[in-house]
Amino acid sequence: HLITTAHFIMGKNILVLGAGLVSRPGIEYLAKAGFNITVASRTGSRAAKIIEGLPNSTSVELDALAEESQAKLEELMSKCDIVISLLPWTMHTPIAKLAVKLKIHFGSTSYISEDMEKLDEEFKKNGKTSLNEVGVDPGLDHMSAMKIIDEVHANGGKIKSFLSYCGGLPCPDDNDNPFGYKFSWSPKGVLLAAVRKAAYIQGGEHKILDATPGKEIYENYQLDKSVPNVGEKLEKGWPEGFECHPNGDSIKFQKIYGIPECEELIRGTYRNVGWCATMKKIKDLGMLGDEECEEKLANKSFAQVIGDMLGCKPEEAKEAAAKKLDLDVSDPIIGRMEWLGLFRTDNDASAKTMIDATSKLFQENPKFSYAPGERDMICMHHTFIVETKEGKKEKITSTLIDYGIKNGDTSMARTVTLPMAIGIKALLNGEMKAGVVRPTTADVYTPILKEMETLGVKFTEKTTPL
């Protein structure tokens, strides 16, 4: 078996576009599996750093988004068996179209867009695969969920309710700021969640949160105290609970997961306690607007900006904000805003938009970054309510708690790129069907989940009769 696998791997070439923070573990896995790797990034030094010390790996400076680089991109892709896009998701379809033209495989960890879906027939015609949604969320969430769904269905049961939450958070031992959050990339994307929409199923009905008052995700959060600490023992102990809220479109997963019988389906996000209400109030204060307002912000402190908005002196910004938000000045939410720097008279709010200005406060505060030796955590928890063939009710949970490696790879980097790398190894060994694929069938998810366990990333399942 080993000989045939090695024989298959020999001479397979992989092009990776993008050398972001999360890319190293997956690239290292593929390089050590014997594939020839080329990492292309618009910052050549970053690509070079990613492959440092890795066998059969080269780096190249290439801005895959730039018009003038298209000929070079096509030339690089034409020499490869697969192109992996770790670029922003908007770039996946153009790269995938090029992969179709050149008759090669495509891979990404992002959600399959409608445009990607439309390429299914073309990939099939080429006998090639576009493998997507093989990170952590999306990725391991699908795999661990489908394992249970398939088992329940195989035993003649029905999925009546499915709640699935995931959060990339600081390890509780390293959770040392009042927001309970640290950024491994640009804060703006996380702050934009305050104005995102969500769709889910509850009581058999489709529900929509459309970011209008009363229907904002941060108004519709709950406290989940049910997450068991299945990870290692912590010095500071396990949190009493996590805030959770719906995120994105959960409704479409009723069809993707093949659970038409499901009357409640919510996929969402975990945050530490205090986050949702605080971000809601920061939004209510007008600090997450994305309209251009450079002149309102130029060379002003945040206290001045808020003072201008609320018609008060900069030094009265805190009291005026509390009054506008209907909060006591001593409320922890006002405390978090003050700690962030929203009421300071000596900082600089200069930016294009309010959300850019507020992002700066998060970005420039070292307490929002992981210091050397600090670890992140992936916390994922599924809860199924199941009706068995005999008509009995059961609760099944599946939980992943994974921590980053001290002074090594983050949990986010490992759980995003290792499942992808394992999937791509299987694909290049001829073990995957053609077309646009996500890991929701046993032939794809079983080997990935099994190998992830050997790498220390393991789901703990528990069944309780109701």
In contact, 377 and 171? CB cutoff 8 Å: yes
Bridge partner list, 460: 399
Tokens of 104: 């090669």
Residue 61: which H helix or E strand, with range? strand 57-61
d(CA 263, CA 34): 46
Tokens of 349: 């709010």
Q: Which amino acid is at 227?
A: V
**Distance, first Cα to last Cα, the chain:** 45
d(CA 461, CA 76): 44
d(CA 341, CA 116): 42
d(CA 371, CA 20): 18
In contact, 461 and 397? CB cutoff 8 Å: yes
In contact, 401 and 230? CB cutoff 8 Å: yes
In contact, 165 and 221? CB cutoff 8 Å: no
In contact, 115 and 108? CB cutoff 8 Å: no
- For the question of residue 409 being annotated catalytic, the response is no
d(CA 98, CA 105): 10
Q: Which amino acid is at 31?
A: A
Tokens of 179: 């927001």
Q: Please identify which of the residues 115, 137, 249, 308 carries the catalytic annotation.
A: 137
Q: Which amino acid is at 39?
A: V
Of 324, 323, 366, 310, nearest in space to 341 by CA: 366
Q: What angle do CA 111, 114, 120 make, to 5 degrees?
A: 90
In contact, 264 and 163? CB cutoff 8 Å: yes
d(CA 270, CA 163): 12
Give me the residue label for tokens 């690089």: 76
d(CA 190, CA 389): 42
> Where in the sequence numbering do the catalytic residues fall?
137
